[in-house]
Amino acid sequence: MEWEKLPNGKWRPKKHFKKTADGKYEWDDPRYMKIRDEKMKKIVLFCEYCRDYYTLLEPCVHHLPDNYRNQKIKEEAYKQLRYKQIRNQEID
Ligand SMILES: [Zn+2]
């Protein structure tokens, strides 16, 4: 059996990906993920809060998809933003 090392340092039996019956890749197939990332990298959007551009692959904090991990990042960002605003008020 072949083994592969995961990012967390653990090992698991190597998965052999094959296309599904309708000719598509499985969602966790590295080839599929690469194609998906390439597509998302090409989609460039403008964020009016940042006044800057972001891609779907690396969205700014205002445009993260909703999930638990992103929720934490958002909360952290807004906390820092509020802190900055408070400090600015004190300076004024
Ligand atoms: Zn933004």
Full-model pTM: 0.57
Task: Calculate how far, in angstroms, residue 13's C-alpha sits from the geometric centre of ligand 1.
Answer: 40
CA 59 – ligand 1 centroid, Å: 8
**pLDDT (tens digit per residue) in 44-65:** 999 999 999 999 999 998 998 8
Which pLDDT does position 38 carry in this prediction?
95
Task: Report the chain (92 residues): mean pLDDT per 10 consecutive residues.
Answer: 87 87 87 93 95 94 83 84 79 63
Ligand 1 centroid vs 56 CA: distance in angstroms? 12
Q: What is the DSSP string of the chain?
A: --EEE-TTS-EEEPP-----TTSPPPTT-HHHHHHHHHHHHH-EEEETTTTEEEESSS--GGG--SSHHHHHHHHHHHHHHHHHHHHHHHH-
